[in-house]
Amino acid sequence: MTKQPITVAYGDGIGPEIMDATLRIIQAAGAAIETEVIEIGEKVYLGGNSAGIAPEAWESLRRTKVFLKAPITTPQGGGFKSLNVTTRKVLGLYANVRPCISYHPYVKTKHPIMDVVIVRENEEDLYAGIEHQQTDEVVQCLKIMSKPGSEKIVRYAFEYARAYGRKKVTCFTKDNIMKMTDGMFHKMFDEVGKEYPDIEQEHWIIDIGAAKLADTPEIFDVIVMPNLYGDILSDVAAQITGSVGLAGSANIGETCAMFEAIHGSAPRRAGQNLANPSGLLLGAVQMLVHIGQADVAEKVHNAWLKTLEDGVHTYDIFKEGTSVEKVGTREFADAVIARLGQKPASLPAADYSQAKSATFNIKVTPTVPAKKELVGVDVFLHYADRDANKLGELVKNFKAGNMELSMITNRGVKVWPNGFPETFCTDHWRLRYKSETYQPSSYSDVIQLLTAIHQAGFDIIKTENLVTMNGEAMFSAGQGQ
């Protein structure tokens, strides 16, 4: 069998130990792989590369298209971009698949019946990483979500459910508050869902959905959600199965894929032969299926299940009474290797005989451009005086095109006209100039308006155009408006 080249990164913290254990196990099981090792992470960051990855490493990734990655440490502080997020986005790895399963009664868990797959959108949302300090008091982070991005991940979740014989897909959003961003995700879920009538589907607002997931995970099957919620809830889900160290993760794109553990580099546990390599190992199992070595994946998975059943446990899942032997990372790997060829006696055995690569052929509905008209502009000011009425008096007479001042907000709350003195104001203000009846203006009108505001001595920090699309307003109202 020709060996499949894969790119490997040993990562930081516990990374080298769990990668060594993982590679030893899959190679002992007969994985036909040729590893190309790249250096990424802390050392590269601290060596002056703020992206944490060298150009040669990108070349390897783009050549092999398969990446097995141990966790890395993103140094705290300014300038260092998360390499995990960069890799996912640069390689277009839009779907993050995180199975969270409990192994009762062999691993102690509050939830004996739990088999949930979290499908996390992987490229968009608050992870666009576009943040700015705008005034002395206010910073912002942009939550960017796209229609094709939402459609792709929702479609992926349904395709995944079908391919893996799962019965239900649940969507979590916060669209009662974020009506445009999360609202679009929910709408896509409803629209795309119509094409999958064989699969049960439901939507939960994320807050109660998260509470239910922590309390009664057995009611969920596949859950699809935007990036940030998926990041947080997959840690919660993995932890309540017994340990965050138990879950693996596949990051799937159209041409490339990356496989990892869901947890981080746990620096406090590094170098002590303590960490549980199971998360990365299960990521590697997903990788073996992806590269067409499902038989090896099955062998590894079953030997691992048997090891758990035999009570050979690392510290994070070791419990007196349930576990038999407390082992370190290396000994755990040896125990799995010793069981290659065996199947679990009572836990359901892994069966990958029907398994296909999880790169589904995901189509995206082409975008039909709408009739877009500029009807106003939100002008954001840095203005230190906290008096909304005074500001209103100073800016209410600026006009251009069909635009005139309709309201002022502070942190999204309407404070002029007729604001409440109780509303706390910062130095960050938004002036909304628009036509009440959505009569169009031109961008030259906006520039004229901005010029007048600027010449009057105001500190403009940014603007957002207000548009209608096919006659419908495409911007949110002010709170209290």
Pairing of strands 115-121, 222-225: parallel
Minimum CB–partner distance for residue 148 and ligand NAD (Å): 25
- Shortest distance in whole angstroms from residue 59 CB to ligand NAD: 21
Q: Is 7 in the site for ligand NAD (CB under 6 A)?
A: no
And the tokens for 148?
A: 């094709």
User: Using CB atoms, what's the residue nearest to ligand NAD?
Assistant: 264
Q: Measured from the CB of residue 235, what is the shortest distance to ligand NAD in angstroms?
A: 7
Nearest approach, Cβ of residue 279 and ligand NAD (Å) = 6
Of 248 and 419, CB closest to ligand NAD? 248
Looking only at the bridges linking them, the beta strands covering 372-382 and 428-434 are: antiparallel
249, 97 in Cβ contact below 8 A? Answer: yes
**Cβ proximity to ligand NAD, 76 vs 353, nearer residue:** 76
Judged by CB under 6 A, does residue 323 bind ligand NAD?
A: no
CB 102 within 8 A of CB 111: yes
Please check whether residue 413 is in contact with residue 478, taking contact to mean a CB–CB distance below 8 angstroms: yes
Only one of the segments 87-95, 264-272, 287-295, 340-348 lies at the binding site for ligand NAD (rule: CB under 6 A); that segment is: 264-272
Give least dist CB 41 to ligand NAD, A: 8
User: Which of residues 98 and 306 has its CB atom nearest to ligand NAD in the complex?
Assistant: 98
Site for ligand NAD in 277-296 (CB under 6 A): 279
Give 87 or 435: the residue with its C-beta nearer to ligand NAD: 87
Select the residue interacting with ligand NAD from 109, 251, 265, 302 (CB under 6 A): 265
CB of 127 vs ligand NAD, minimal distance in Å: 12
Site for ligand NAD contains 227 (CB under 6 A): no
Q: How far is the CB of 329 from ligand NAD (least distance, A)?
A: 8
Is-contact 300 340, C-beta < 8 A? yes
Q: Are the CB atoms for 9 and 318 separated by under 8 Å?
A: no
DSSP assignment, residue 144?
B
> 209's torsion region: left (phi>0), alpha (psi -120 to 50) or beta?
alpha
Contact flag: residue 230 with ligand NAD (CB under 6 A): no
The residue (of 150 and 307) whose beta carbon lies closer to ligand NAD is 307
Pairing of strands 66-69, 399-400: unpaired
14: nearest Cα among 42, 50, 38, 45? 42
Interaction of residue 276 with ligand NAD, rule CB under 6 A: yes
Whichever of 239 and 441 has its CB closer to ligand NAD, that residue is 239
What number of other Cβ atoms are within 10 A of residue 281's Cβ? 26
CB of 63 to ligand NAD, least distance (A): 22
Provide, rounded to whole angstroms, the least separation between the CB of residue 263 and ligand NAD: 3
Instruction: Output the DSSP codes for 25-63.
Output: HHHHTT--EEEEEE-BSHHHHHTT-TTSB-HHHHHHHHH
The distance of closest approach from Cβ of residue 431 to ligand NAD in the complex, given in angstroms and rounded to an integer, is: 38
Contact flag: residue 275 with ligand NAD (CB under 6 A): yes
State yes or no: residue 269 binds ligand NAD (CB under 6 A). yes
State which residue, 245 or 478, has the beta carbon closest to ligand NAD: 245
| Alpha-carbon gap, residue 432 to 434, rounded angstroms | 6
Strand runs labelled E in 299-452: 312-313, 325-326, 372-382, 399-400, 403-410, 413-416, 428-434
From CA 119, how far away is CA 171, in angstroms rounded? 10
Under rule CB under 6 A, how many of the chain's residues touch ligand NAD? Answer: 21
- C-alpha closest to that of 216 among 300, 117, 116, 293: 116
Residue 17 in contact with ligand NAD, rule: CB under 6 A? no
How far apart, in whole angstroms, are the C-alpha atoms of residue 179 and residue 188? 13
CA 136 to chain CA centroid, nearest Å? 30
Residues 71-90 that bind ligand NAD (CB under 6 A): 71-74, 84
Q: Under the criterion CB under 6 A, does residue 260 sit at the interface with ligand NAD?
A: yes
> Given the complex with ligand NAD, which of 290 and 432 has the nearer CB atom?
290
φ, ψ of residue 176 in degrees (nearest 5): -75, -20
Angle between helices 147-163 and 181-193 (to 10 degrees): 40
Q: Which stretch binds ligand NAD (CB under 6 A): 148-156, 219-227, 269-277, 347-355?
A: 269-277
392 binds ligand NAD (CB under 6 A): no
**Sites for ligand NAD among residues 21-80 (CB under 6 A):** 71-74
Position 266 contacts ligand NAD (CB under 6 A) = yes
Considering the complex, state which of residue 124 and residue 316 has its C-beta at the smaller distance from ligand NAD. Answer: 316
Instruction: Considering only the stretches 95-103, 141-149, 262-270, 330-338, report the one whose residues sit in contact with ligand NAD under the rule CB under 6 A.
Output: 262-270
DSSP letters, 362-392, are: ---PPP----EEEEEEEEEEE-----HHHHH
Q: Indicate whether 264 belongs to the interface with ligand NAD (CB under 6 A).
A: yes
Q: Which two tokens stand for residue 165?
A: 């014989």
CB of 285 to ligand NAD, least distance (A): 15
| Contacts with ligand NAD, residue ranges (CB under 6 A) | 14, 18, 71-74, 84, 244-245, 260, 263-269, 275-276, 279, 316
